[in-house]
Amino acid sequence: MEVLTYLIPISLVLGGIGLGAFLYTVRSNQYDDPDGDAQRILSSEWDEHPKP
């Protein structure tokens, strides 16, 4: 059962990273234009950095 002392914190941290990433995307307006983002990936133009 000692393995639990590793596994539980690991599962919480991993879940927390997912939550943090989601909150970051919400805060930085990444869901404002889902249709546009789906189309922009097809465009060969880079609209923001990083430019290659």
Partner 1 sequence: MTAAMRPNVSACPACSAAPAAEALAEQEAQKEARLALSLPTIHCAACISAVERALVAEPGVKTARVNLTLKRATIEAEHDVTADDLVRVLDRIGYEAHELDAGTLSATATDKAGRDLLMRLAVAGFASMNVMLLSVSVWSGAEDATRDLFHWLSAAIALPTIVFSGKPFFTSAWGALKHKRLNMDVPIVLAIVLAVATSLWETTLSGDHAYFDAALTLVFFLLAGRYLDHRTRAVARSAAEELAALEVPRAIRIHDGEEETVQVSTLRVDDRVLVRPGGRLPVDGEIVEGQSELDRSLLTGETVPVFAEPGMAVSAGEVNLTGPLVVRATAVGEETSLHRMADLVAIAESGRSRYTSLADKAAQLYAPGVHILSALAFVGWYLYTFDVRTALNIAAAVLIITCPCALGLAVPAVTTAASGRLFRKGMLIKHSTALERLAQVDTVVFDKTGTLTAGTPELTNLGDFTRRELEIALALAAGSSHPLSQALVHAAQDAGIKPVPLGDLQEVPGYGTQGTLNGKLVRLGRAAWIGAQPLAQTSAFLSLEDGKSRAFTFKDTLREGAEDAVKALQENGKDVLLISGDSAGAVEALADRLGISKWVAEALPQDKAARVQALSAEGKHVLMVGDGLNDTAALAAAHVSISPASALDAARVASDIVLLGGDLSPIADALTIARSATKRIRENFRIATIYNIIAVPLAVAGLATPLIAALAMSSSSITVSLNALRLR
Instruction: Classify each residue of 3-40 as buried b or exposed e, where b means 16 or more C-beta atoms within 10 Å of its C-beta.
Output: eeeeeeeeeeeeeeeeeeeeeeeeeeeeeeeeeeeeee
Shortest spacing between CB 52 and partner 1, in angstroms: 17
Q: Based on CB atoms, which residue is closest to partner 1, 3 or 50? A: 3
Residue ranges that bind partner 1, judged by CB under 8 A: 1, 4, 8, 11-12, 15-16, 18-19, 22-23, 26, 29, 32-36, 39-43, 45, 47
Q: Based on CB atoms, which residue is closest to partner 1, 32 or 50? A: 32
